[in-house]
């Protein structure tokens, strides 16, 4: 294995005869079988040798965090030059620790310590209900877990159990974090997670009943802010900037077009499969995560060409049916968190914006449809909103729409309510095909 990763013959001898060569070779072979790329294996191979020289992987007792961190800092101090910045030294230290733990975990010498072990059974039980009984998305469950773990860490430092919880302790948690700079929206988000958990905990008898009702969230007025996203001109520039032959740009351009044209959530884009693109009928099938409905959209030329280019030139060969895969080995379906970071990086290159996340492109899509003269009902259907209230915020930025609201006759209320109750069916795409095709071209001017 070493002769494949090292070019010089004298270097091959060093790696082959170095400390714990058998353990290093076994780990590299395992990574190779799992599909890791050649460049990644070469970098890991270099780290393994310096790790082996500083940590005894054959010791009887499990390797401790202190051993790993101490070895990493010692190596960084001897390797980095005096002119090396603290940031660079910190980067190589973290890389040493990352590879070391991965290797020790493979050898059975390391296991990640459980976070907040005293509350882990209760938290796991709560997250299981969210996933299996309520059908929450992975992103929502991950957010709930992160917010609750922060609370449990604080609770663990105080040495307080769930049975000892009181409204005063809950209030102290929010007061302390509010003093540290939490905004109203942050307090509300954490309050929602704690309220949901303590309702569940009360049903299971883990805490006193009624605790959830004592968690008061700050009042945030409905639609108090404006939709925050790039303008349509900025979206056009973003798509034009990604019109290159770089593999990552080809894939990311297809994802960004889906977000901008159809207003998808990033998790919905990552959830698309090869079967969801109906090339024969030029349709795109989408599973809405929040209302659990299936919608069909006309597959526009821009989006279809972008997906086809990705499939023909970039997408790795894989048995996975998910449309978008990671480009580095091992190739796996793209997850919402990774895709979100990628899209945010591209949007951030446009310049100063209130928000850079993928949801900002959903806002840009809605605002563009409004400018094109679509009604709030039509925009809500396009975005997959369950209620028209979710879409009404976009009317605030359009004076013409506000004028329509001001002059609306009450006699139309019955008809309005009747249309809101109509379910979205597959025929919806056929009825709106011509209008949606006209809007979805959005004046790219041949940037296909």
Residues known to be catalytic: 265, 290, 359, 362, 385, 394
Phi, psi of 333, rounded to the nearest 5 degrees: -60, 140
Question: Could you tell me if 302 and 258 are in contact, meaning their C-beta atoms sit under 8 angstroms apart?
Answer: no
Question: Residue 11 to residues 24, 32, 55, 75: CA-CA distances in angstroms?
Answer: 15, 20, 21, 20
Question: Residue 212 to residues 166, 174, 186, 188, 201: CA-CA distances in angstroms?
Answer: 10, 14, 18, 13, 9
The whole-angstrom separation of Cα 254 and Cα 272 is 12
Neighbours of 108 (CB within 10 A): 8
Can you read off the two tokens belonging to residue 261? 């044209």
The whole-angstrom separation of Cα 220 and Cα 156 is 31
Closest CA to 54 of 111, 99, 112, 1: 99
Question: Could you tell me if 271 and 285 are in contact, meaning their C-beta atoms sit under 8 angstroms apart?
Answer: no
- 397-425 in b/e burial notation, b at 16+ Cβ within 10 A? eeeebeeeeeeeeeeeeeeeeeeeeeebe
Query: What proportions of the chain, in percent to the nearest 5, are helix, strand and coil?
Result: 60, 5, 35
- Strands, DSSP E only, in 261-398? 277-278, 283-287, 294-298
């Amino acid at each position: 294995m070493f002769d494949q990763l090292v070019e010089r013959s004298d270097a091959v001898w060093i790696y082959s005869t170095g400390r714990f060569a058998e353990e290093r070779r076994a780990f590299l072979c395992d990574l190779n079988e799992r599909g890791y790329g050649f460049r990644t294996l070469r970098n890991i191979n270099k780290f393994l040798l310096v790790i082996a020289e500083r940590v005894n992987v054959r010791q009887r007792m499990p390797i401790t965090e202190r051993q790993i961190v101490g070895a990493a800092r010692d190596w960084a101090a001897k390797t980095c030059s005096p002119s090396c910045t603290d940031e660079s030294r910190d980067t190589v230290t973290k890389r040493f620790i990352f590879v070391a733990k991965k290797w020790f975990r493979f050898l059975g010498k390391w296991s990640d310590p459980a976070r907040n072990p005293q509350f882990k059974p209760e938290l796991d039980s709560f997250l299981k209900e969210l996933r299996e009984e309520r059908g929450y998305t992975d992103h929502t469950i991950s957010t709930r877990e992160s917010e609750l773990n922060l609370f449990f860490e604080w609770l663990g430092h105080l040495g307080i159990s769930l049975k000892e919880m009181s409204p005063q302790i809950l209030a102290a948690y929010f007061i302390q974090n509010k003093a540290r700079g939490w905004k109203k929206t942050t307090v509300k988000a954490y309050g929602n997670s704690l309220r949901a958990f303590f309702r569940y905990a009360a049903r299971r008898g883990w805490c006193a009943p009624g605790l959830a009702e004592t968690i008061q969230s700050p009042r945030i007025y409905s639609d108090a802010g404006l939709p925050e996203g790039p303008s349509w001109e900025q979206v056009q520039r973003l798509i034009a900037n990604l019109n290159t032959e770089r593999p990552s740009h080809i894939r990311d351009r297809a994802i960004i077009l889906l977000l901008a044209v159809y207003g998808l959530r990033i998790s919905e884009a990552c959830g698309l499969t090869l079967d969801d693109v109906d090339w024969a009928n030029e349709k795109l099938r989408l599973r809405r995560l929040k209302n659990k409905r299936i919608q069909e959209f006309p597959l526009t030329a821009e989006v279809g060409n972008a997906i086809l280019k990705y499939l023909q030139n970039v997408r790795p060969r894989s048995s996975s049916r998910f449309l978008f895969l990671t480009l580095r080995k091992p190739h796996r379906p793209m997850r919402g968190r990774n895709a979100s970071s990628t899209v945010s990086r591209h949007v951030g290159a446009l310049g100063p914006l209130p928000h850079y996340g993928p949801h900002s492109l959903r806002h840009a899509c809605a605002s563009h449809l409004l400018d094109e003269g679509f009604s709030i009902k039509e925009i809500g259907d396009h975005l997959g909103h369950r209620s028209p209230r979710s879409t009404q915020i976009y009317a605030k930025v359009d004076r013409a729409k506000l004028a329509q609201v001001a002059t609306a006759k009450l006699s139309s209320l019955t008809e309005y309510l009747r249309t809101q109750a109509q379910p979205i069916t597959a025929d919806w795409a056929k009825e709106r095909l011509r209008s949606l095709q006209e809007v979805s071209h959005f004046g790219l001017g041949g940037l296909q």
